[in-house]
Structure 1
Amino acid sequence: MPITLDVRLDGFDQPIGHLFGDDRGGVAFAYRPDYLARPDAMAISMSLPLSETGYGDPPTRAYFDNLLQERDTARADIIAKYDIANDDIAGILLHLGKDCSGAISVLPEGAPATKVPGDLLADYVPLADDRLIAIIQSLHERRALPADVQDPSPLAGVQSKIAVTRLPDGRFAEPREGSGAPTTHILKVPDDRHRRDALHEHAAMELSRSFGFPTASTSVVEIGGISVLAVERFDRKIDQDGRIIRRHQEDFCQALGLPARQKYERRGTEGRRFDAVAVGQLLDQTIDPAVEKRLFVEETFFDLLIGNVDGHAKNFSIFHLPGNRIHSTPRYDVMPTMLDRGTTDEFAYRIGNAELLNALSWDAVDDFLAALGFSSRAGRRRLAGDIVPATIRRLNEKIEDIAAEYLKDFADLLATNIRTTCRRLDIEIPTPAGDRDTFVR
């Protein structure tokens, strides 16, 4: 039957809009007039800009479906329990919408807000060691969480993870039941086949930060004999009253109006996919497009060289600010995925016509820059000639440091990728990259 749900944005006292579901599973969205009249109103998505006219099914479905977890256990449970169709987004969000990740929540019409600022001294309960170990062991073994554990912020992605809060004394805590308080950290827990993932991702994130890229802070913590990556949430901040509040952001899938299944370029179609053209058009709308585009290019070649070929559309995000201003968020999911021999080495988005590192060429790089919107051929040559060799040189200088951290495989992968890139682009192979063992996929 038809359903109307309130869409709330943390920080606003009243709903900002409504999600409508019809009796055939179709959905629509509209902003509330009183929200549109506010000077501090911001769009929930670049694919759903502020407008008095509502939005129909395709853009509405793409955005709200992206709020749900990619690991669909909870979704499957709700579908089975209430006999809901898999594509009935409004029906599913009726039951799961209060726990959407980020600052958005979707609630029954008239329901009170379920997301509010958090007081570190009053709104959190420290996790006892045995309870924390039980949670981490469950995630490590890909089992259901202990019966009394409710993940306060179910997270997108396929890695096992849970949202927690880190108290000033360093202990991890969970929000008091019913508090609606935000979490501050994400704990990423590897399975037994990927025990060193936390070390690899932490090293990659530290490398990213050393390049000057805005990057979420990470640390490796040992819990129950398992190396866990603790990631400080970039979408949180402290307000003037010392409370933790959520910052509104969305990933590139949402911003481009793409369903999560199209987060890789290869899964889309021309004009409706995550590719350089779409990214360029998106970044053209940011506060400083020239800076944002150069940063994207720098991060792209950094990622390809370190073996992070999983930079899909849900691993890039933008902040929404009052006045309909946007800018990119810090990097938050930088992983040398090529270390896992069971994964593809195909790029998440093409560099020109190149889908693999061993297909890279200067023409492909030029086509990539042109697609992003760099119109001058001479300017593209200068940009490529500046960024690519400099990235190779700086990463080459980090190889021995990575190897010294007992990460020989990562160091070998980086060296192998540098050699491949140098051969493809006719650049002299530097030492120590030229002397290390080959990482064989």
Structure 2
Amino acid sequence: MAELIALLDGNEVGRVRSDARGRLTFVYDNAWRNAEGAYPLSLSMPLAAEEHGPAAIQAFLWGLLPDNEQVLERWAKKFQVSARNVFALISNVGQDCAGAVQFVTPDRLEALKTGRDDKIEWLDEPETANRLQALREDHAAWRLPGDTGQFSLAGAQPKTALVLKDGKWGIPSGRIPTTHILKPPTGHFDGHAENEHICLRLARELGLPAAETKVMRFEKEIAIVVERYDRQVSGNDIIRVHQEDICQAMGILPTKKYQNEGGPTSADVIELLRTYSTDRDADLETFVSALGFNWLIGGSDAHAKNYSLLLASGPHVRLAPLYDIASILPYDHVDPRKVKLAMKVGGEYKLDQIGLRQWQKFSRETRADADVVTATLISMAGQIPDLVNDTRARAQKDGLENAVIERLAAALTKRAQDCERVLKGT
């Protein structure tokens, strides 16, 4: 039987076991289960049970990997394993994942725990630029051949993860975590990285907790740099903070991240927060506001994997900052009348079919205060035009030049004004 040892911020918490038929189970270490302040690897695998079967652990492991078949095939070829063997893939890239978890084979445990493998391969600006160029041209080039430090992140966009220390970028390995995610512009939706940067900044301006981003230039290459909220710097140490996305928390495979494919609904997320959050009122308010924000900006990809939970000692469970938010509205080839949200509101997916009546129905279905929900939406819609102007000006000052910026600003302003009229019935 093959095993992978799971660590949370350096503490052994259990083992993933793969039998001769490839059937996976996860078994907690009793020392961790009984430790003061212990928390689960996933809400789908509570500490009350020592062993958990294939459904939950497979959903958790697949949820750590990219939603990109091209990347998975590249990794499979590199590591000489099957692209459908999640255990084998995590065995090779599981030392730096989302959250505090690291997966390591038993023969590598001592080297990891003693720090024997700890090192950072420092990159100068040309080397960082070369990596971004390679990633922009080949979306599967998350790491280059010969790199020792491996990492895994969910999502479909091309990206790389690096550590930033004392103003220098590097590729960490061993116990040292990455601290930032770098995303170059992509050709799928021109200006998507700039779009995401502006939308996340707009969310923060509206008071929503959202990942911190900035635009950085490395020679001729531009990247959106996302500060990882699942990492905390404490003196000279970088601490991993545990998190999981909503699909992982519910034991749902990432292939079902969309509601229309059988994935979680907004009501499911709200019920999850009511059950587990250690600050229910704040997290429920944030989630409903985030749902409304995506409706206001045409954020069509806010599926269950784009919402996450932070887990810590206590156990302590909170809704994580928002991430991966972008608007579909500035793209000419998209018909706004056909744009759908990832989660229904009041029984409707389509943006232009969601109005006051649907939000009132949503409020009834989720036991939210309809007046508060409507007031929140009207408030956000009223603030967006001025905030968009400020955000656009700052983005251009930061060196963002993509034509999507002007189209995005115009589209967001018009959309907010239209939504405000709909909500007010004017």
Q: Normalising to structure 1: TM-score of the pair? A: 0.84
1:126 matched to 2:122? The reply is: yes
1:280 matched to 2:276? The reply is: no
Aligned residue identity for 2:364: A
Return closer, same or farther for 1:400/1:85 CA change in 2, 3 Å cut-off. Answer: closer
1:44 matched to 2:41? The reply is: yes
Once residues 288 and 206 of structure 2 are traced to their aligned partners in structure 1, the CA distance between those partners, rounded to angstroms, is 13
Once residues 249 and 101 of structure 1 are traced to their aligned partners in structure 2, the CA distance between those partners, rounded to angstroms, is 7
| Larger deviation, residues 416-425 vs 278-287 | 416-425
Q: Deviations over 1:44-101 (max 9, x none)?
A: 1111111234111212211122122222445335655777555443344333333434
Once residues 93 and 121 of structure 2 are traced to their aligned partners in structure 1, the CA distance between those partners, rounded to angstroms, is 23
| Larger deviation, residues 149-158 vs 288-297 | 149-158
1:395 matched to 2:384? The reply is: yes
| Larger deviation, residues 132-141 vs 294-303 | 294-303
Show the counterpart of 1:210.
205
Q: Among 371, 382, 385, which residue is 1:382 paired with?
A: 371
8 Å Cα contact 1:6/1:19 also seen in 2: yes
Return closer, same or farther for 1:4/1:124 CA change in 2, 3 Å cut-off. Answer: closer
Q: Among 137, 152, 163, which residue is 2:133 paired with?
A: 137
8 Å Cα contact 1:103/1:247 also seen in 2: yes
Return closer, same or farther for 1:153/1:210 CA change in 2, 3 Å cut-off. Answer: same
8 Å Cα contact 2:186/2:193 also seen in 1: no
Q: Indicate the SS of the match to 2:95.
A: helix
Aligned residue identity for 2:411: L
5 Å-filtered alignment, 1:297-312, equals 297-312=288-303
Root-mean-square deviation (Å): 2.7
Show the counterpart of 1:434.
none
| Larger deviation, residues 241-250 vs 360-369 | 360-369
In the TM superposition, residue 318 of structure 1 has moved relative to its aligned partner by 1.0
Once residues 156 and 226 of structure 2 are traced to their aligned partners in structure 1, the CA distance between those partners, rounded to angstroms, is 16
Return closer, same or farther for 1:173/1:54 CA change in 2, 3 Å cut-off. Answer: same
Show the counterpart of 2:319.
328
In the TM superposition, residue 236 of structure 1 has moved relative to its aligned partner by 0.8
5 Å-filtered alignment, 1:401-412, equals 401-402=390-391, 404=393, 407-412=405-410
Return closer, same or farther for 1:11/1:346 CA change in 2, 3 Å cut-off. Answer: same
Once residues 311 and 248 of structure 1 are traced to their aligned partners in structure 2, the CA distance between those partners, rounded to angstroms, is 21
Show the counterpart of 1:219.
214
Q: Deviations over 1:321-349 (max 9, x none)?
A: 11222011122222223334567721011
1:93 matched to 2:90? The reply is: yes
Q: Among 349, 352, 355, which residue is 1:358 paired with?
A: 352
Q: Indicate the SS of the match to 2:37.
A: coil
Determine which structure has greater relative contact order: mean sequence separation of CA pairs < 8 Å that are 6+ residues apart, divided by chain length.
2
In the TM superposition, residue 424 of structure 1 has moved relative to its aligned partner by 4.1
Q: Indicate the SS of the match to 1:16.
A: strand
Gaps in structure 1 of 5+ consecutive residues: 375-379, 429-441
Q: Among 11, 18, 37, which residue is 1:21 paired with?
A: 18
Aligned residue identity for 1:142: D
Show the counterpart of 1:7.
6
8 Å Cα contact 2:202/2:388 also seen in 1: no
Show the counterpart of 1:295.
286
In the TM superposition, residue 394 of structure 1 has moved relative to its aligned partner by 0.9
8 Å Cα contact 2:247/2:257 also seen in 1: yes
In the TM superposition, residue 382 of structure 1 has moved relative to its aligned partner by 1.6
Once residues 407 and 244 of structure 2 are traced to their aligned partners in structure 1, the CA distance between those partners, rounded to angstroms, is 34
Q: Indicate the SS of the match to 2:178.
A: coil
In the TM superposition, residue 426 of structure 1 has moved relative to its aligned partner by 4.9
Once residues 305 and 104 of structure 1 are traced to their aligned partners in structure 2, the CA distance between those partners, rounded to angstroms, is 35
Return closer, same or farther for 1:9/1:400 CA change in 2, 3 Å cut-off. Answer: closer
| Larger deviation, residues 336-345 vs 386-395 | 336-345
